[in-house]
Structure 1
């Protein structure tokens, strides 16, 4: 006789949240809890060792540079080897580098070059991890449920990031940055163990092909052959750069000089985080038919925080602007992931993701480096208005690409299907990073 409790147990998890999706989500929550606290801890470790703001910037750059250098290679390798093995290996590298960083800090008197070298190793691990992880996530859900699955995944990640930053800050105050770095190393170890259990039996074995350069060329053909794809990647190379410069350089300065210190800026960033959670909740229910049109229109509000800092708005107004921009960037983020899942062949997921990541981060170090000289040359307010104008201009330009306006959602899609390059949609049916 069947137990009446059995159907209730099965109903606790939606049918689209399969084993791989659940493992990926759980592992990402763990690593986000650790990593966002560790980012704060690394900065305080530099300061406590006698460094200044310039030294903090050097350590941050040491993380970003290998990310830019190795992303495309990481994407090619992730489409050549089993993705879960690439993810586990990257997690192992991150675990070792963060553990060594923690030991240095706890032992006392870490040298700047040592912190830069270990942070660079962590960035290298991320360069190989990110394309493999996104490719694995894209292959873990069916097209019919992709929108909801990606929204829930991003909501979990954002929630963990907010919690990790808050927990990390509290731990730094209580026990120091070294222990936060140690917790991050443990988080990478646990997440890597979970990812080792991912099932890749459903992913077709990749046939023999050319070398690494051939794989990179193949990935580039996939990107360049789809106008909607390369146009939005180019758009976000500018958007991420100027928004990153405004928030990492100008935001704290405006808060210190005109809003009363770090607390108002922290509140504004918290409002942005709350907005991303709200946006993810919205996208679990809303499935815009024209994926990229809806997503691109929701990029325009990213110009508002820079404008709010230029005025500057009082703390409550700035927080409201940041909340709205958090909501809208999630609309874009989920729509973008759904479009990639729908349009890109499964065996090229990671290479395309690598080009996407590369476009998003390539100009960020340059933009943050030029933020100070731009302020000196034009003034802070003018520089912020310039950031806002650039977001509007490049986003408006993308809307001139027909496929961005016309790509529509397919209601039923086999994960990893391979539509023709550049195909915008079936006109008859309901079909079609920062965040």
Structure 2
């Protein structure tokens, strides 16, 4: 999309976006701390992988189950209000978690229940968050805003785990969780300052289920959403298994945990640096860019499957991070140009559902595959699958014919057919 009306930081001149941006950066900082802190809190209670698995699953399962309905809720109500409420609920849940851990009264079932609450709320807040930029900024400012959010997220993704590790090692995981709880409340308070007129919801159905059905029908009507999300399902499954699960196993036998951590951090660097270049790039064929980015995202698999060295792996992760930056920008610009504001969160929720449901598929499948064929062959095989899927997608005109023109998003002129 050719965007020339705004500098890299110009979205921050808009008060509503500035409040939203600051709140979400603070929120992401806390969230980037929470995973490590929660893991060590669980292991302090019950030193078993099974216990940790239950706690992690308690969050991820409702997140996937309720994601599509969450998109309907986020489209039905004012998104800033939805996000504010979600942040408050998550802040309270994490505050209870922190209190139980710090006081020494936490049990595994406590954490399972509280993480289930957090996962359910995230299923609503995620699509609401992804639908905010197009209602906060004019068209010419949105590209810069998406890149700015990506850069900030990559930075806190480096800082958060390091800060969490320091707190866990010195004063305990409960205090790191308390910091995370505080960031939710800060984000909610920043969203109080966001003042927006109510969007047009004249096409809303009588119930949330009706809105969900209308959103799914609209996605089918567009033609490219479900095929694109299906490709994302495959790629997320490959990455979650081949890089996130099998990668550390291979690293443990080659470059060690320190080398793996150093190499992996290069991905955030790639995201951050790429944004400066993407600000000057004109995107016209978003799906072609997305499919190419998916393949490049999988490049670390080639290194893991052939010759593992810290610097070669770090370089591959940096390139993968740059590809992720292009991927996110292309998808966000595509959706905000082609989808009416009243449908944004539902379309984003469909993409999120396909992406999140793929992760446990890859995580579960990779172990038996590595046992049968060997870790290196699985990594190379996964990369080949990535290339084949992207190549097949490039033969689908419903994807390749999509063009960004810079036009404003369409209006939802009539009731979406419920087919």
Contiguous gaps of at least 5 residues in structure 1? 1-10, 421-435
Query: How does 1:58-137 map onto structure 2 within 5 Å?
Result: 58-108=54-104, 110-137=106-133
* CA distance, structure 2, for counterparts of residue 282 and residue 276 of structure 1: 11
Structure 2 equivalent of residue 348 of structure 1? 343
Query: Does the 8 A contact of 1:294 with 1:332 survive in 2?
Result: yes
Structure 2 equivalent of residue 314 of structure 1? 309
1:17-42 residue CA offsets vs partner (Å, 9 max, x unmatched): 52222122111110111111111101
1:171-224 residue CA offsets vs partner (Å, 9 max, x unmatched): 212221110000000000010111122222062344552322221111112211
Please give the root-mean-square deviation of Cα atoms over the aligned residues, in Å. Answer: 2.1
Structure 1 position 278, deviation (Å): 1.4
Closer, same or farther in 2 for the Cα pair 1:400/1:70, shift >3 Å?
same
SS of equivalent to 1:362: helix
Shifted more, 165-174 versus 348-357: the winner is 165-174
Query: Does the 8 A contact of 1:374 with 1:383 survive in 2?
Result: yes
Shifted more, 184-193 versus 51-60: the winner is 51-60
Structure 1 equivalent of residue 405 of structure 2? 410
Structure 1 position 292, deviation (Å): 2.2
Shifted more, 178-187 versus 109-118: the winner is 109-118
Alignment partner of 1:361 out of 356, 361, 364: 356
* CA distance, structure 1, for counterparts of residue 116 and residue 222 of structure 2: 33
Structure 1 position 273, deviation (Å): 1.0
Structure 2 equivalent of residue 372 of structure 1? 367
What is the aligned length? 408
Query: Does the 8 A contact of 1:142 with 1:415 survive in 2?
Result: no
Structure 2 equivalent of residue 154 of structure 1? 150
Query: Does the 8 A contact of 2:76 with 2:201 survive in 1?
Result: no
* CA distance, structure 2, for counterparts of residue 287 and residue 142 of structure 1: 18
* CA distance, structure 1, for counterparts of residue 245 and residue 305 of structure 2: 13
Alignment partner of 2:239 out of 228, 237, 243: 243
1:353-375 residue CA offsets vs partner (Å, 9 max, x unmatched): 11111011112122212222222
Structure 2 equivalent of residue 297 of structure 1? 292
Alignment partner of 1:44 out of 31, 40, 45: 40
Structure 1 equivalent of residue 254 of structure 2? 258
Structure 2 equivalent of residue 428 of structure 1? none
1:130-172 residue CA offsets vs partner (Å, 9 max, x unmatched): 1111112232222223222211121112222222122112221
Normalized against structure 2, the TM-score is what?
A: 0.92
Closer, same or farther in 2 for the Cα pair 1:185/1:286, shift >3 Å?
same
Query: Does the 8 A contact of 1:61 with 1:365 survive in 2?
Result: no
Contiguous gaps of at least 5 residues in structure 2? 1-6, 415-419
SS of equivalent to 1:414: coil
Structure 1 position 417, deviation (Å): 4.7
Structure 2 equivalent of residue 268 of structure 1? 263
Normalized against structure 1, the TM-score is what?
A: 0.89
Closer, same or farther in 2 for the Cα pair 1:407/1:384, shift >3 Å?
same
Closer, same or farther in 2 for the Cα pair 1:15/1:336, shift >3 Å?
closer
Structure 2 equivalent of residue 164 of structure 1? 160
SS of equivalent to 1:31: helix
Structure 1 position 264, deviation (Å): 0.7
* CA distance, structure 1, for counterparts of residue 201 and residue 219 of structure 2: 22
Runs of 4+ in 1 over 6 A off after TM superposition: none
Query: Does the 8 A contact of 1:147 with 1:283 survive in 2?
Result: no
1:238-292 residue CA offsets vs partner (Å, 9 max, x unmatched): 1111101223211111111121x21011011110111111122222221222222
Closer, same or farther in 2 for the Cα pair 1:312/1:206, shift >3 Å?
farther
